[in-house]
């Protein structure tokens, strides 16, 4: 929300013309931002002074001194102003109270002993380059995926090819077997392997260090092949400076090659041209490869849509020609959910890079409304999401209206854990019941900002088990106590990425639940899928290699 929009909302609040959706927006701003509260007070005071001046001009009063206390007492604000003014008086106390409240949706208790979390530390960048593409890449140690920040220290690409982008703007394609380290945005050390670097003008002076000498780029593209005996350097475009260990430096131009030899001198290259692929060609290759993966995904999706266990399946894209209705693609369900209805969410790029093919829910009030009839013995929920930030206590993935008995809630906590629950009915005579909540381990922090991930959860009544999945892999399983198993789950009216008809509390900090991010696909099954099935759904639906 920019300054102009904020002032417009404050003015409409003061004059009583604000609608309920905008009221929620400005309430949230007032609670978390002291500067906004000061703007509201200043605007309110100005409005009162103007009204007082107008009143004096009409009635020609004799009094000339008006205290601030009298001014506020005499001013009669509109209905919304009365409501919010009272709320503002208690903001400080409310914030302190909220800190001590159990930050759960339904007075839940978790049996994973995570009653208190250590303070979360904002992750800082620990690297100088991003992995922007790969083909058949096999890494030594932990695998790296597209979008990862490459760590400092030695990296070993055992096979395949990767495209990396340094923060200086340098782009490199490295082919395995390669051993290298990214020392800074302007320097890479190569012990072994083939690389091709394209260096933009602001990064001229970029250096590749080898055991036998250094290569300094003077613009704009060159390749290098490092082996046990030395390093062949070929200039594709522009000029480079070679700095051998035991002889004078030499500049060579486009089309020329030289070798930094083990002796520390410059000699003829072993081959006149090192066969390598440049960044532009490699990205073109990856685009063609992804088109093939997308075509394969469309074929796999036809089988998914024909699964009779699939109750709801939405590709979350706004369609003005259908009055912002999203078709439920679960064609084989005996009792399918309704089509979805888009509210306030805006079109965005999907995980395949297609424009206007997913929905962004960052605007307060954004959601997709749907209705899921029937009752279910078990269930699976699955979605592809891209998170900008977890800036709310609860960040909705799928929430039923209110939260009645036997209804599921699925959302993300602000600490990066996934929350799942099915509300257990209270036995007769019991006024309050501790509700089970099944948390995943922390799956998200700011280092994953803007990256597409697949989340899934299964509620398996037969196995009495709740399992969380990230990118097709089980990350936690927790048994459901016998006295807390809900054998007949119902959903009814619900929202994707928000909460309608909130319960338990009314403060905006608790009520506001729209996901600050985007969602691509959402699926709901009337059964608990197996781990193999969920892994296959990830493999079929992922635009990236894994």
Give the model confidence (pLDDT) of 6-63 as tens digits.
777 887 788 777 876 677 677 766 755 667 777 776 777 666 665 554 454 444 333 3
On the question of pLDDT at 320 being above 80, the answer is no
* Weakest-pLDDT range from 120-134, 335-349, 409-423: 120-134
d(CA 170, CA 236) in angstroms, rounded, equals 15
Please tell me the distance from the alpha carbon of residue 238 to that of residue 206, in angstroms, as a whole number.
13
pLDDT surpassing 80 at residue 174: yes
The stretches of 404-485 forming alpha helices (DSSP H) are none
pLDDT reported for residue 114:
37
pLDDT at 104: 40
The rounded distance, in Å, linking the Cα atoms of 299 and 477 is 31
Q: Which two tokens stand for residue 347?
A: 């079109």
- How far is residue 479 CA from its own chain's centroid? 29
- Please check the confidence at residue 288 and state whether its pLDDT lies above 60: yes
| Assigned architecture for domain 129-277 | Sandwich (2.60)
pLDDT of residue 351: 95
Tokens for 449, please give them.
């900002």
Query: For the residues 124-146, what does the mean pLDDT come to?
Result: 86
With the C-alpha atoms ordered 306, 307, 311, 314, is the resulting torsion angle positive or negative? negative
pLDDT at position 196, please? 96
The better pLDDT of the pair 89, 267 is held by: 267
pLDDT value at residue 83: 44
Give the helix ranges, DSSP H, for 60-121: 68-74, 79-89, 91-100
- Please check whether the two domains, 129-277 and 308-426+433-541, share a CATH topology: yes
User: How far is the C-alpha of 95 from the C-alpha of 100, rounded, in Å?
Assistant: 9
Cα–Cα distance for residue pair 251/253, rounded to 1 Å: 7
| 255 bridge partner residues | none
Across residues 431-440, what is the average pLDDT?
82
Do residues 510 and 503 lie in contact, with contact meaning Cβ atoms separated by under 8 Å? Answer: no
> Tokens representing 379?
């269930």
Please report the pLDDT score of residue 34 as a whole number: 66
From 74-78, 300-304, 377-381, 530-534, the region with the lowest mean pLDDT? 74-78
Main-chain dihedrals φ then ψ at residue 530, nearest 5 degrees? -80, 165
Give the pLDDT score at 396: 93
Cα separation, 106 vs 88, in Å, equals: 26
Yes or no: say if 359 and 367 are a contact pair by the CB < 8 Å rule: no
What does the pLDDT read at residue 49? Answer: 61
Question: What is the fold of 308-426+433-541?
Answer: Jelly Rolls (2.60.120)
Distances (CA, A) of 339 to 126, 403, 410, 516: 44, 21, 20, 23
Helix, coil or strand: residue 162: strand
Q: What is d(CA 218, CA 239) in angstroms, rounded to the nearest whole number? A: 5
Cβ–Cβ under 8 Å, residues 173 and 279: yes
Residues 147 and 452: their CA atoms lie apart, in Å, by: 10
Q: Of the candidates 460, 504, 457, which has an alpha carbon nearest to the alpha carbon of residue 480?
A: 460
Residues in the chain: 546
Q: Quick one: average pLDDT of 425-430?
A: 72
Is residue 345 scored above 90 in pLDDT? yes
Closest CA to 514 of 432, 398, 429: 398
Whether the CB-CB separation of 72 and 46 falls below 8 Å is answered with no
DSSP bridge pairs for 380: 458, 525
Q: At 40, is the secondary structure helix, strand, or coil?
A: helix
Which percentage of the chain shows pLDDT scores above 90?
A: 58
**CA pseudo-torsion sign 267, 271, 277, 281:** positive
Is pLDDT above 70 for 465?
A: yes
Indicate if the pLDDT at residue 275 is higher than 50: yes
Write down the domain spans for the chain.
Answer: 3-100, 129-277, 308-426+433-541
pLDDT band at 64 (very low <50, low <70, confident <90, very high): very low
Answer yes or no: is pLDDT of 251 > 90. Answer: yes
* Total-model pTM: 0.71
50 contact partners, CB below 8 Å, separation of at least 6: none
Rounded CA separation 539/301 (Å): 12
Q: Do the Cβ atoms of 403 and 423 come closer than 8 Å?
A: yes
């Amino acid at each position: 929300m920019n300054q102009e929009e904020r002032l417009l909302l404050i003015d409409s609040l003061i004059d009583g013309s604000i609608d309920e959706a905008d009221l929620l927006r400005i309430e949230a701003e007032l609670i978390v931002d002291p500067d906004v509260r000061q703007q509201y007070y200043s605007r309110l005071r100005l409005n009162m002074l103007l009204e007082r001046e107008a009143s004096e001009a009409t009635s020609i009063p004799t009094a000339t001194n008006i205290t601030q206390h009298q001014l506020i007492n005499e001013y009669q604000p509109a209905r919304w102003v009365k409501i919010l003014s009272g709320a503002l008086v208690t903001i400080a106390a409310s914030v302190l109270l909220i800190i001590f409240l159990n930050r759960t949706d339904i007075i839940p208790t978790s049996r994973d002993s995570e009653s208190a979390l250590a303070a979360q530390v904002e992750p800082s960048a620990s690297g100088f380059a991003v992995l922007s593409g790969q083909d058949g890449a096999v890494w030594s140690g932990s695998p790296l995926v597209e979008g990862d920040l490459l760590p400092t220290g030695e990296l070993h690409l055992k096979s395949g090819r990767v495209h990396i982008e340094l923060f200086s703007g340098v782009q490199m394609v490295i082919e395995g077997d390669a051993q290298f380290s990214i020392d800074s945005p302007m320097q890479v050390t190569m012990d072994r392997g083939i690389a091709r670097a394209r260096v933009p003008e602001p990064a001229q002076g970029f250096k590749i260090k080898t055991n036998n000498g250094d290569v300094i780029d003077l613009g704009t593209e060159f390749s290098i092949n490092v082996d046990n005996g030395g390093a062949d350097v070929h200039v594709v475009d522009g000029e480079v400076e070679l700095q051998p260990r035991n002889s004078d430096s030499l500049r060579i131009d486009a089309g020329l090659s030289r070798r930094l030899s083990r002796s520390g001198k410059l000699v003829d290259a072993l081959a006149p041209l090192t066969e390598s692929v440049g960044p532009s060609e490699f990205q073109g290759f990856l685009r063609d490869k992804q088109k093939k993966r997308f075509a394969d995904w469309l074929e796999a999706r036809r089988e998914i849509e024909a699964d009779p266990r699939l109750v709801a399946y939405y590709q979350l894209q706004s369609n003005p020609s259908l009055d912002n209705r999203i078709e439920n693609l679960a064609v084989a369900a005996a009792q399918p959910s309704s089509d979805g209805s888009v509210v306030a969410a805006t079109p965005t790029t999907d995980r395949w890079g297609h424009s206007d093919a997913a929905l962004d829910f960052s605007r307060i009030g954004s959601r997709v409304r749907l209705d899921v009839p029937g009752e279910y013995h078990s269930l699976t929920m699955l979605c592809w999401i891209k998170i900008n930030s977890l800036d709310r206590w609860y960040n909705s993935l799928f929430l039923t209206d209110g939260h009645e008995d036997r209804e599921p809630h699925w959302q993300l906590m602000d600490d990066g854990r996934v929350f799942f629950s099915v509300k257990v009915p209270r036995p007769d005579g019991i006024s309050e019941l501790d509700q089970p909540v099944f948390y995943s381990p922390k799956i998200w922090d700011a280092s994953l900002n803007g990256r597409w991930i697949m989340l899934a959860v299964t509620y398996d009544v037969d196995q009495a088990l709740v399992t969380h999945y990230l990118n097709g892999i089980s990350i936690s399983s927790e048994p459901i106590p016998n006295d807390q198993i809900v054998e007949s789950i119902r959903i009814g009216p619900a929202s994707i990425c928000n909460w309608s008809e909130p319960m338990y509390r009314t403060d905006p900090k608790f009520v506001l639940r729209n996901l600050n991010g985007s969602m691509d696909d959402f699926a709901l099954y009337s059964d608990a899928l197996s781990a193999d099935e969920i892994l296959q759904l990830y493999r079929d639906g992922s635009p990236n290699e894994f």
